Structures are given as structure tokens and as C-alpha cells.
Structure 1
Amino acid sequence: MSCPLQRNADGFPVLHAVPEDVQADRERLYQEGPLTRVELPGGVIAWATTHHEVSRLTLNDPRLVKSVDHWADFQNGVVTEEWPLMATIPTDGTNMLALDGEAHRRLRSLTAGPFSARRVERLRPRIERLTARYLDTLEDKAHQVQDLKSAFTFKVPMGVIGELYGIEEGEYAHLGRMYAKLFSGTTEPGEHIEIYGDLFQFFTDVVARKKANLDECDDFTADLLRTGLESEDGLSDMEVIVTLLTVVAAGHETTVNLLTNVVRALLDHPEQHERLKKGELGWEQVIEETLRFDPPNNVMMFRFATEDVEVAGQTIKKGEALLTHYGAATRDRAEFGDDVHVFDPARTKGRHISFGYGPHICPGAPLSRLEANITLPMLFERFPDLRLAVADEELQVVAALSTNSLKEFPVILRPKD
């Protein structure tokens, strides 16, 4: 039986990097809501929204900003650069995730083109080709236990990003390992600074290679670099480097988790899988319900109050930090109905915000959805008898407070007769 939420001396729920029971913790935090104080690793105190409507409203509140210049604990030295969760809080003024207002709109507009729904749709043939290729690599061991995450749900999104950026395939695994370390909740104090430096150097080298052959390049990286040549208000090389680093951080892991979570949900709910196979449900319904039921990110890190903000009858004081707990908000009865614990792709009540809301809504959401709508039907068409190789309760989550990811996803793709 799951234990209740641990509380600190002040009675605040304690959020650990590795929750004991992800689904149960979502419900417990929802019951704390709609707004609660929480203790984060290292004894850091922040506010958390845990209901849908208050999350949506605060994500769109201009008084709650992304810049750590407004975080009293950081400015006063209570939180330092070595705090492990600082990996999720950009401090660089060239990073759109650290900016608000006009500065944010400028970077967003300059980088939005490649991720528009129309531009993303042009990637469909590439995604289909990559998916078929990686499915082929699974065939030789189809009767054996394989880790579907490392062998497939990681590779397809990384392959898409690689083609989008113009990165060599031989670099994918190294890049993935660096990001896994960056967002791990078990890194040593200050280790994320070194990892970030390695990632920064990686993308610095990518930009240098592109600039040397810009006329021959037709990819996202080249598009970003050309903005600096076409307009005085275009992106600097530093902004391009940080944008590349940020888009992978924000988009790739989200898509990996989405693909994995959809497969897991269908295997754990065979009755819904049967409805899908019979045509009673569509893939889009299954994907959107998974985004609600088991979102790829549990927590949205962080925003800071520029003045006292009244929220749900409480006051977030100037300089305090606020996070959005997507996982808890998915349990909001007022938005989704009383059956929030049920995985129901035919659900018509409510609209999730698992890709965010407001000015900082995820720009890669159209690409992530497209990948899921292409990749998952192809996977189940090739391997209709795909099943878990272990009991669902034996699956282990990654040690990361913000992301909702599995360490491994052992499956048998084609059981022996």
C-alpha cells in the first residue's frame, strides 16, 4: 500500500525526485490544492498549483515571470547555481525560456516557423521513413525481450530532431545521454553545470559547421542562422546555440515520454486497445487522453512573482517561486469529470494543458503530436501482439522531478506461438 505524502516540519508536502507511486502522488497533491506550499530537494520552499483552472490562470499571468532575477531565494544565495534543479531553470538572457514580454516574443517569433503546424506536416515523409527504418531494426529480436524505450521510442524523436537540426546520426546516443544526466534528480551538486557546458560546446560545434557551409544546408539550424544575416533583429550565434540546446531539452524528452506512455497505457488497458483496433477509437483520442492521464512532464519549473499575487485565496509574495504540477492538475474533477482515474480515450469533458498554456506553451507540440500519430500506428501494425515483458508495477521511473519517464520499457514484440 502506498504511503501518504511526506511532510516537513511546517506541514508542507515534500516532493522527491523519485516518487514512490506516481499516480497516487498526483491524487494526493490534487487533494492539497488548488494551491499549496511544497518542499523541494535541498529544503527549498515553493508554491505549486495542483488544480487545472488555477494552473491555467497562473501560466497566463504576466506578474509571474521566468527570470530568476525575481527569485528572492536565488538572489539572496539561499539557492545557488549548484542546486540540482537549477538545470531546469534557465538563467541565460539568450534563452527564450528565461524571458518574458517583448524579449520573449522576439525569440519566439524568430524560431516559431519550423514548428508551425504547416511546416511540421512537411516532415511527415521523413518521420514515416525513420519509423519504418527503426522498426526494421527491431525485427531480429522480435521474439526476445527488448527495451522499447532505448531501441525505438528514444530513437525516432532523436532521429527527427537530428534531421531537423542537421546532426549526424552517430551523435544521437551521446546527445541523449547528456540530456538524461542534465535532468536527472540524482546528479551531484554542481554536476549539471559541467553537463550544460558540454551541451553548449556540442551545439557550438554544430553551429560552426553549419556556418562554414551555410549555402548548402537546408535545416532548422541553417534557418536560424540565416535570420541573423537577413535582419539586424535576427538571431545572434549565441541565441542560435542556446535555442538549439533548449528545443532538444524541451521537445525531445517530452516526445520520448509521450510515445512510451501511450504504449504503456494501451498495454495496461487492453479493453481500450481492443476498441482502437475495432475502429471505435482513433489514435488522436488515445494520444490526447494519454497526455491527460499520464503526462510526459509532471512539473513545470519555475516562475517567480514580481509583486504580491492573490491566487485561490492565498498570496504568492513578491520574490517567491511557483511551479505548475501538471500531474496533479490532470486529476481535477471540475475539468475532467469524476472518473479522472479512468483511462478513457472517448472522454469528451475537459481539455488538458500538458503542453503548457499561455505565452510559454510548448512550441514543439505540433511536432510531438505528429510523431505520435505516425509512429504509434506503424508500431502496432508491425507488432500487433506487442506485450510487456514484466508486470507494469515492476517498471521503474527515472529520477527526475520534472519529467515523467521510465528507465526502461521491456517488451516482447512478437510472442512465440
Structure 2
Amino acid sequence: MEEANKLKKATYHLWTFTISKLISSFGSQVYTFAISFYILQMTGSATSFATNLICNVLPRTLVSPFAGYAADKYSRKMIVIIAQIGTTIAIGGLLVVSLTSGLSLAAIYVTTIILSLTSTFSGVTFTSSISGLVDGARIQKAMSMNQMSISFASIGSPAVGGLLYGAVSMPVFLIIYMIASSIAVILESTMNFNLFANRKKKVEGERKESMWQSMKAGFSYLKLQPLIMAMIWIALLVNFLFGAFEVGYSFILIEKLKIASNHFGFTQGALAVGMLLMSIYFSVRKEVRFPFLVSKRGIMCMGMLMGGVAIPLLVTMPYTIIFSYYAILMFAFGVMIIIVNTPLQVFMQKQIDDDFKGRVFSILETMAMALMPLGMVLYGVLYDVIPAQWVLFLSSAVLIGVVLILARPSVVRKAHPEYRETNVIKEEAKSFS
């Protein structure tokens, strides 16, 4: 009877978790859209706009290790609730400023920093809590529904943001965001973060670790997990090499091929649609049998798609064909992102010890966030001095090579001892059946 109640509560968690993430993702992205629009309209300065982006990225990179430490040492439920309340208060503070003295860049930057901090603590803690909120059999469903929320927000937030920005004043917009954030707080307060958690119980009189010792313990734990280390290296190098796509895609379509802004936006939307549809598929299908293998193949496909971005630079095509080509390519990218991410996330949720999840996920996020700007700066320079098609082709080849080396057959067998190379096609077909 108790087990049935736990499963019933886990089902409730699936929906409250999804709705809460949808509210926070939607609110955050609509806010980012509206504030970016406001800054550009108010100042007309690209520097002011870039400064707001830095206020979002830099705090996230700096505090992520501390968020991981907190998620492993303190009540995860309390951290998530405090972070969401912090979001509500920050928006309330900006509302008060806008009503009393009018919005200023300083107030916007401070609010962006606070929102970046609260979203980091909330994001790392929620990711660390998935296996405690739902039963093992439905972790894939939970991860997929989480991704569905993000994808749905990516598709709808520009439209909703544009509509609200044009229809209501900034104070009304901020009040709407505050109400949505308050609903998320109420939903999160009803969740049991320890329902399926397998965390070590505190022993009376046991010597407490300092924050520094705890972080060192996280790195020591990772060193003893060669499989997780391989997955983290793959994730980091893929993130870095994807700078070629992040920078090159906009550069090629806007500068080289002169794609109209509305058509460019449509191709970006195709990416989110691909992610959404694949997330829905993963939420209803049974768990992938060989997640590491599926992700490996998915990354290789992404490498080929990245090279495919350069094809219209080499082959003359009518404008309509170019637009259609990029819409299909971006849709395929969206599909592949989910095929790569969801099985890997489920695999890591099951492989990483509950007491180390916060630190491991925060290490991954910190390193990825640190490498992303580096990749963008490097590729920004490369695109100025080397023809775009060669930058993409070379990066695509390196990406595929990195995956073939780091996810070689011996590593795949470590991840999936039941996997046999002699029956590759049959086993891979089963992994997606």
C-alpha cells in the first residue's frame, strides 16, 4: 500500500515539476526578451545589451560550484523554494523601482544578476533531485517532460513577450511575472524531494566537512568514475566545438546568404519544434536500452549536420530551397539534441551517487559555461580570417573524431556490459525499439 502511495505521489511530482519548470522557464525567457527589447529601445547600445548578457552568464559560472555544494549538503526542497522566492522578490524590487523612479540600467543589471543566481541554485538543485522525486522507471519521462517545458517556452516566449511588451506597460508585465513565480513557489512547497532519495543519513557527532573539503570530495568522487569522466569530457568538448555552429549559423544566414529576419526566426523556431516533438516521444516511450551508445550516434549525426550548415555556400540554390533546407536542418538538430541529451541525463541520474549529484552536475555546468564564451570568441576570430565552410567542415570532423575516440567501443562496453560489438545493428535497433 505504501509503495502504491509513493508511486501516486511520484505521478503528482511529474506534473508539478513540469508545471513549475514551465512557469519558471517561460517567465525567465519572456522577461529576457522584454528586458533585452527595452534596453535596446532605451539606449540603442549593443554594449548595454551585451553587459546584461554578461550579468546573466558570469554569476552563473561563478556560483555553480557553491550551488552544487548546497544541493548535496542542505535540504533541496528548501533551496528550490528560497531560490524561487528570491526570484519573486527581485522582480518585486524592479517593479518598485519602475513605479517610483523609473527603470534604470543599474536596476536592470542588478535584477539580472539576482535572477541568474536564483536560477543557478534552483536549476542545479532540481537536476540533482530528479531521482528523489520520481521512481527509477520514470526518470526518462521526468527528464523528457523537463525538456518539453524548456522547448515549449523557447517556442512561445518570443510571441508572448512581443505581445505583452506591446500590449501592457512594464509594471503590469512585472506583476504578471511575480504572480507566475509565486504559483511556482506554492507548487514546489507541496513536493517531497526525498520520496525516492538515497542520501546518506547524518550521524550524531560526525565531523562536518568544510565547503572546500566537500568540493574536493566531489572531484575525488569523479576521478573514481572513469565512465562519468568520459561523458563529461565529451559534453565539454562538444559544447566547445559547437561554438562553430553557434557563431557560424547566424553569420552565414544573415551576412553571407542575406536571409530575411522573419525567415531566420522561423528556422530558429524549427529547432525548438524538433526538440519539443522528440521530448514528447521520449516521455511516452520505454527507457532507451543503451543510452550511452544512442548518445554517441546522436553526437556523430550532429557533427554531420553541423558540416551541412556550410553546403549552401558551396552549391548555388534558389532562395526558397535555401530557406527550406535550413528549416529542415534545424528541425533535425532539435531532434538530435534530445536524442543526445535525454538518454545521457537519465544514465547520469542512475550512475551518480545521490550524495554527489549536486557537485557533479555543478562541475559539469561550470566547465561548460566557462568553455562556451571561449569557443564563441575563438570562432568569432576564425570566421573573420578563414572561409566559413572550412571552419564548419574542420570543426565537424574534429567533433566526430573526438566522439569516436572518447566513446570508443571499449568505453561503450563499460557503460553497457551486455552490449556486444558482434551484433551491433541488432543491438542498436533494440535500443530504440
TM-score (norm 2): 0.25
Structure with the bigger percentage of strand: 1
More helix by share: 2
When normalised by structure 1's length, the TM-score is: 0.26
Structure number with larger C-alpha Rg:
2
